[in-house]
Copies of this chain bind each other. A is one copy, B any other.
Amino acid sequence: MIERRPTQVDVAREAGVSRQTVSLVTRDDPRVSDHSRHAVLAAMEKLGYRPNVAARALAAHRTGFVGISLSDLVNPFHGELIELIRCHCEAQGLVPFIAPVGQDAADEKVAIERLLEMNVDGLILISPMADDESLDRIGSQVPTVVVTRNAGPDSVDLVHTDDRAGARAVVGELMASGYRPVVYLGVDRPVSGDSSRARIEGYRSILAEAGYEPRVEMVSPGEVGRALGRVVQEFGNGFGLCCHNDLIALEAIGHLEVFGLRPGRDVGVTGFDNSGISGYPGIQLTTVDQSTAAMARRAVDLLSERMGGRAEPVDVVMPARLVTRATSGRTGYLR
């Protein structure tokens, strides 16, 4: 039922040339006569020849593969990012593969290890949980770009949004709309250089400047209710809720409605990521846009450069853009 795959030998026999000529054709080498090339291509087509990547990798010491590690597949922001990265990889002749990561840093390590085992030429790590030492080990083995982190070892490049500024922007917006106090609802990711930390830092800084005490509630996705209950109990209404990302904000909005609190009216709510759903009518979440497309492009470009031999680390900071919608209260009440 499952037949043997044709090899270059089969193609060569079919085309009436030597096997080496076939190899040259696959690599687009110019020193093949038009006639031979044509015969080879026709034979490949006829036989359904597909190069054996394992053999090529073994002989050529490269694969053209780019490994992508991605933990949170449920976050639509990541989905958008991956699709854009894929497009830019295509354009650069790189072949992207995703290793699904499980829950924790240990799972992530396994996933990255596997990408290394399959001889990827480069690595794009999206919101990795690994510590700097692990990142350094990885980066010194293969060109690596880390996306959404603002710090890391010199062996990797960094692409991230100005999370601090983004957080300051949304918190500023909530305060300008009159919400007090502004509470931060975040995820607990004790990873150096992680976006969650930068956002909290931005939140703290702008509150400090305005002379307010910070109040940070750490939650896991899916468990926003309890934390929010505490906040409602303590402050009633009129407070602002600066959420780590759009998903948490959506969950918070759901809980607020149960408490009878209308987002953008009784309570100000903001997210982060400007993911597709945040702009839906009926949701209209005020959030921060991360210029996802530019991030994706820069990440792939940096990787190409690293693969091309650059050794000095590069850190690209993308602008954070406030997207003001209904949930922060100033553009008209929706609900």
Instruction: Write the residues of chain A forming the contact surface with B, with a CB cutoff of 8 angstroms.
Output: 1-3, 5, 50-55, 57-58, 63, 65, 72-76, 78-80, 82-83, 86-87, 95-100, 102, 113-114, 116-119, 140-142, 155, 222, 225, 250-251, 253-258, 276-277, 280-283, 311, 334-335
Closest CB of chain B to A22's CB: distance in Å? 16
Q: How far is the CA of A191 from the CA of B155 in the complex (A)?
A: 46
Are B52 and A58 within 8 A (Cβ)?
yes
Are A98 and B95 within 8 A (Cβ)?
no
Are B280 and A254 within 8 A (Cβ)?
yes
Chain B residues with CB below 8 A from A95, complex form:
114
Interchain Cβ contacts under 8 Å between A and B, 26 examples? A1-B140, A2-B140, A50-B117, A52-B117, A53-B118, A53-B119, A54-B55, A54-B57, A54-B118, A54-B119, A55-B58, A65-B118, A74-B80, A79-B79, A83-B102, A86-B100, A86-B102, A97-B97, A97-B98, A98-B98, A98-B100, A225-B281, A254-B280, A257-B281, A257-B334, A257-B335
Are A254 and B225 within 8 A (Cβ)?
no
With A257-B334, A276-B74, A277-B250 already in contact, the answer to whether A116 and B2 are too (CB < 8 A) is no
How many chain copies?
Answer: 2
Q: How far is the CA of A86 from the CA of B74 in the complex (A)?
A: 14
Chain B residues with CB below 8 A from A76, complex form:
74, 76
Chain B residues with CB below 8 A from A58, complex form:
52, 54-55, 58
Chain B residues with CB below 8 A from A98, complex form:
97-100
11 extra interface residue pairs, beta carbon distance < 8 Å, beyond A5-B141, A86-B102, A98-B100: A1-B155, A51-B117, A54-B57, A73-B73, A83-B100, A98-B98, A118-B118, A251-B280, A254-B282, A255-B280, A257-B282
Are B87 and A102 within 8 A (Cβ)?
yes
Chain B residues with CB below 8 A from A74, complex form:
76, 79-80, 83, 276
Q: How far is the CA of A118 from the CA of B51 in the complex (A)?
A: 9
Chain B residues with CB below 8 A from A113, complex form:
50
